[in-house]
Structure 1
């Protein structure tokens, strides 16, 4: 029945795990069908966007300067033409020459202002209505930018008046012209700027794209491929990434990823060994329970004999077998990562210490001395079976370590102490052995890692610590010498 129940529980766990594993298939992660709109494409588009934004910021002052320079050149030509026309003889100043002058300058009127006097040199028959006035020398940069975009948007067919200083700063040149020609030149300039910006953007984006792909994207894809290979077989140390010689952030990521994968592979290898060990323990435990059950039957038959020696030994044998059954069940409980809740009773702690003496196999020829210093009237509130297991594990460890020494002169002594301190019962187990090695102290109460002797599993201390915590107490190794000294602190209620 236990085997059937265990298989059912395993099946439920497998059923819960399968969807999660299927959703993260390593083969799917390892496929090279990377997204079309990936990091490389985003970098390319962002580079194009940012370069175009920069070109727009450059275009705004450029187009305003183009308009201002265009008007200044027009004013300079108008000034030269005005001076020539003014100094010409009267027979050259006729309507035909005036119209030719205006046509060559492409203006509607041309005039000079000097010392408050305005002199109109030439004018077409029907000039347009003036829509705005510009003085190119007095306009601020913001006014020039606003005027440039005003011309681009509304300059077609519009007439404006433009005024500028003469070269000698003695007067002003004034002209009235239609903005259509200016607007056409500004549009051509804008188109040229746009084409140049596109070329610069494409070239810059291509260079940035290739550089970033070589420096970032390709190494990142390599990291992704490595993680996919490692995920498919994390126990294979050959799939651990080999860091390159890069000294930048990518090199740091490779180094950290390599260390993480190496630790994970080692941990998984260790966990697999522990899982195999747990399976072996479960199998041994299953058969051991059957053997113990047979031994209990034989002990029951021995109890029927009238031999005094048999009658004295059989109760202890039966008690030992009962504890063996409990220990066997406890191994299965530990494999399920949980202990049964403690069934606390008031116990005579001295009596538990005396039972230790019978089970530690301390014959008269043994060099080990066992002393029970627990007061006979001291009571403790705990689960009798679980507390016995804690004491048995600690005492058995001490006995095994001390009996490993073959030197006759070495003192081997195991002492049990107990006293009341505030609301706690303090139990101390002390020996005169070699003590706990420094390497074992860090993992003292961790299963399969905190063994005190070579070949041990460290389960005894781990089980003891779990039981004491379940009682609301604590267990620790005291910093004393010589030997090992453990303190168990249990609440009195």
Structure 2
């Protein structure tokens, strides 16, 4: 059952909403950073205004002789103009107090010393007033006009609290309005330049993934020269390459199916011809006896080629299933399958230690070794070595690049023509008349293990090396 195609996120869960929310949060954070000093300055200005009234009162007290008393009507007018309950004037160790006739009972007092104007103190005082509820008595302290004189104004904190609440509410509404307008403008700008092009890219990828063989879905890039334009052009190029590859793959698959059917029928025909040739070979005619071996050899080659093509076509892309495998036993089994066990003319030497184990797929790695060993055996069988005994050796080494398993022979080596397309199916072959499928399959299986199959440079003989990144484990000897 085919999975349902992926869908783009809804407008309320997409990138645009996240961007708009992020912009508003950032703008509000900036507004808060500006609001705190602004609130502190507003409170300081308000307190300074009330303190000026106290300074005026202190000036009046200085102008009046000590033996005289200020009229109650004048003092009440001064206090009410400042909204204060009392004003204290301190100079030269003496204090003078004027207060309302009907002054309320003093409550918990909080001091606002206007001689301390550092930002931390001002901001802390503003926040303290804003969150206090305004039920305390505010004691405002400041310097008078004369040297070493102080003026204190005592008043309810409620008026200042209400002023700060109103100011904060206005700033909040204004900040929200500015944040919304700014975020909306930035959102529209970024949406046009980034979000919508990115959404079109996403829509195109989703649609092309569902129908990769539909050429009309290939991205049409714009003329932009920024990152979005580069992404559009690269996506269009990738989709074009993928579209071309898929069409070629379909053609090759159809062609391969047709070839497989032809080879299958050809193999059956060749098998029948081989059976007839075996019967012909039993005749006593000298010409038949001379030509029959050639005919049988030719038919064997044709059948072997047909079988190799069929095997390559049936080759599956199953991922390897690594397990702990004793390497020496794996090589011995591969040598037996390659026809080297008990060979009358070729010496087969397995130099790998019995305590070495690798994490590989035993079936796939055996097939790699069989193909390499069989090629080496066939190369030695086709050539006569002067003064040397044909030999195939398998050895093992471990270095910085990983595990290196070498399969080498002392034959005449490969011709330069065979080296050019050594691992290309149907083109590269290590021997005359071969298909090159064995080396192609061996390379694919090795790369499936994350390794490499390479031909080593040698002056004499041939050496193939299987390089694997697998960690080597040494088995404990039996006691």
Q: 1:425 aligns with which of 401, 405, 409?
A: 409
Establish whether residue 460 from structure 1 lines up as the match of residue 448 from structure 2. Answer: no
- Residue 66 (structure 1) aligned to one of 42, 45, 63: 42
Report the counterpart of residue 139 of structure 2 in structure 1.
161
Alignment equivalent of 2:84, drawn from 88, 99, 107: 107
Cα RMSD, aligned residues only:
4.1
2:362 counterpart of 1:344:
no
Q: Which residue of 1 aligns with 2:294?
A: 316
Q: Retained in 2: the 8 A contact 1:102–1:109?
A: yes
Instruction: Give the 5 Å matches for 1:429-440.
Output: 436=417
Separation in structure 1 between the aligned mates of residue 101 and residue 182 of structure 2, nearest angstrom:
51
Quick check: 1:78 aligned with 2:54?
A: yes
2:188 match: 210
Aligned mate of 1:44, from 16, 20, 27: 20
Which residue of structure 1 aligns with residue 327 of structure 2?
none
1:189 aligned to 2:167? yes
* Match status 1:247 vs 2:231: no
CA contact (8 A) 2:40 2:125 kept: yes
Shift of 1:209: 1.2
Q: 1:279 to 1:168 in 2, by over 3 A?
A: farther
Trace 1:79-478 onto structure 2 (pairs within 5 A).
79-84=55-60, 87=63, 93-127=70-104, 128-138=106-116, 140-167=118-145, 169=147, 171-337=149-315, 343-346=337-340, 379=347, 386-387=374-375, 423=393, 424-428=408-412, 436=417, 441=420, 444-447=422-425, 460-466=435-441, 476=455
Is 2:32 aligned against 1:56? Answer: yes
Kindly state the Cα deviation for residue 125 of structure 1 after the two structures are TM-superposed: 3.7
Describe the SS at the equivalent of 1:309.
Answer: helix
Alpha-carbon contact 1:108-1:124 (below 8 Å) kept:
no
- CA separation of 1:285 and 1:292: change in aligned 2, threshold 3 A: same
Counterpart for residue 483 of structure 1: none
Secondary structure of residue in 1 paired with 2:37: helix
Kindly tell me: are residues 464 and 444 of structure 1, through their superposed partners in 2, closer, same or farther at Cα, counting changes over 3 Å? closer
Instruction: Tell me, in whole angstroms, the C-alpha distance in 2 between the residues paired with 1:138 and 1:276.
Output: 90
Using the TM superposition, give the Cα deviation of residue 304 of structure 1 relative to its aligned residue in structure 2, in angstroms.
3.8
- 1:372-414 Cα deviation digits (max 9, x unpaired): xxxxx6656878995399659xx9xxxxxxxxxxxxxxxxxxx
Structure with greater helix percent? 1
Q: Is the 8 A contact 1:82 1:121 kept in 2?
A: no
Report if aligned partners of 1:130, 1:161 keep a CA contact under 8 Å in 2: no
Deviation at 1:283, TM superposition (A): 0.7
Residue 445 (structure 1) shift: 1.6
Structure 1 gaps of 5+ residues are 1-18, 352-376, 396-414, 453-457, 481-485
Q: How many residues align?
A: 402
Residue 112 of structure 1 and its aligned partner are, at CA, apart by 1.8
- Partners of 1:227 and 1:194 lie apart in 2 by 44
Q: Which runs of 5+ in 2 are unaligned?
A: 318-332, 350-369, 394-407, 447-451, 466-479
